[in-house]
Amino acid sequence: MTKQAAVLSETQSADAMLRERARRVVPGGMWGHLNAARLPAGYPQFFASAEGCRVRDVDGREYIDFMCSWGPVLLGHRHPDVEAAVRAQAALGDCLNGPGEVMVDLAEDFVAMLPHADWVMFQKNGGDATTACVTIARAATSRRKVLVARGSYHGALPWCTPSVAGVTTEDRAHLLHFEYNDVASLRAAVDQAGKDLATILVTAFRHDMGRDLELPTAEFAAAVRHACDDTGAALIIDEVRTGLRLDIRGSWETLGVRPDLCAWSKAIANGYALAAVSGNDRFREAATKVFVTGSFWCGTVAMAAARATLRIARETDVPAYIRAMGLRLREGLASLADRHGIAIRQSGPPQMPLMLFDDDPEVRKGRAFCSAALRHGAFLHPQHNMFLSAAHGPSDIDAALEAASHGFKAVRELRP
Ligand SMILES: *Cc1c(COP(=O)(O)O)cnc(C)c1O
């Protein structure tokens, strides 16, 4: 440690010192959404450890975690069965000259779990999977146009990143937009694409940052399917965020709508880096022809983690459990807000909740709420959907509600 750092350490938190060091050697101190400067005051940027539903920052403060690593953690951090599978596979080797037996085992698990799927391929990140889906759809149809809902997140590659820096118009040349859940705008975009429509790409529900979450209407889901059937385009569902949380068979299964291609990542390996594309036989040949690969896409450890995760999700009905915990949180927040006389809106499936305040265009209330709740040990988010995990028990939810009550107090004390 330099003398300067030693002096700083007496006055600054470990997090602040790491930010200071990072600012010198990492552009902006941190990339993308993980720059804690985007979060309410007091949020740490750096974490030291995690276990179950609790995360610990580098200053030793512990929080009940409602972000679950922004989605990848489904069963709780360091789930013992997943970690045991990881250790056993790691002892044999992770990065080999090609895939291990575990790849075929896992592909069989996926195909057995997903009614829409006849095959599956693996990648690392959600963006790999959404991009591969689009490439396969274009290869299969020999068409170019891709319909996406305005504001939907599908990854951080040039064709889909929410930023415009470094992106050319050509990168987006064949994207057309519609409004999620708006059948008329969907039809207009389909007409606009005409004979060049390769695919309609949709998230399982509308989970755009900062606005109320919206489940798909049955009418919208059916219209997406019909538009694809009428035109021969591929229906791609982006399940990267929702996968294994709403319905392990696929989020639109209860709506009676099956995708042709589906992108998975985040929770499928409970925190280990893995993504997948699943598809039906109509797209098998195209999926064989496209050249998609990556140096780390065969990693056996993440696949072993995914096998354990899928098995537990299946055997213990994780979606039903996290839904029950999410409902407990939702009801608790509603009654606290009521008691404090504060108007809130809760939206989304209970497993992936969002709470917004009325009359809060600049998110002042949301930020004050989250900062105070954080100080009392609950890690929440004011604008992004949150995540429940199978490690959240009723007493954890109740402890988080206690923290949230301080959040509501802070909102009441805000000056207009
Ligand atoms: C996170 C996410 C992605 C991108 O996944 P990465 O692993 O970050 O590349 C794509 N689609 C949705 C819906 C996501 O939530």
pLDDT at 1: 43
User: Is any ligand 1 atom within 6 A of the Cβ of residue 243?
Assistant: no
Question: Would 3-77+318-412 and 80-316 be classified into the same CATH topology?
Answer: no
| Chain centre to alpha carbon of residue 384 | 10
User: Is any ligand 1 atom within 6 A of the Cβ of residue 155?
Assistant: yes
Residue 8 has pLDDT above 80, yes or no: no
User: Is any ligand 1 atom within 6 A of the Cβ of residue 154?
Assistant: yes
Give 289's pLDDT tier (boundaries 50, 70, 90): very high
Spell out the domain ranges in the chain.
3-77+318-412, 80-316
pLDDT at 241: 98
Minimal-distance CA residue to ligand 1 atom 10: 154
Q: Across all residues in the chain, what is the average pLDDT?
A: 96
CATH architecture of 80-316: 3-Layer(aba) Sandwich (3.40)
Give 36's pLDDT tier (boundaries 50, 70, 90): confident
pLDDT at 5: 47
Which atom, in ligand 1's list, is nearest to the CA of 207? 13
User: Is any ligand 1 atom within 6 A of the Cβ of residue 125?
Assistant: yes
User: Is any ligand 1 atom within 6 A of the Cβ of residue 238?
Assistant: yes
Q: Are strands 47-51 and 261-264 parallel, antiparallel or unpaired?
A: unpaired
Q: Which of 209, 150, 196 is nearest to 32 (CA)?
A: 209
Residue 10 has pLDDT above 80, yes or no: no
pTM for the full model?
0.96
Could you please report the per-residue DSSP string of 361-398? TT-HHHHHHHHHHHHTTEE--SSS-----TT--HHHHH
pLDDT at 11: 62
pLDDT at 311: 98
CA dist., res. 133 & res. 149, Å (int): 16
User: Is any ligand 1 atom within 6 A of the Cβ of residue 385?
Assistant: no
Share of the chain above pLDDT 70, in %: 97
64-93 per-position pLDDT tens digit:
999 999 999 999 999 999 999 999 999 999
Cα of 28 from ligand 1 centre, angstroms: 22
CA dist., res. 305 & res. 24, Å (int): 35
Residue 233 has pLDDT above 70, yes or no: yes
- The whole-number average pLDDT for the span 318-322 is 98
* Bridge partner residues of 263 (DSSP): 238, 277
- Tell the CATH topology of 3-77+318-412: Aspartate Aminotransferase, domain 1 (3.90.1150)
Cα of 308 from ligand 1 centre, angstroms: 22
- The whole-number average pLDDT for the span 238-253 is 98
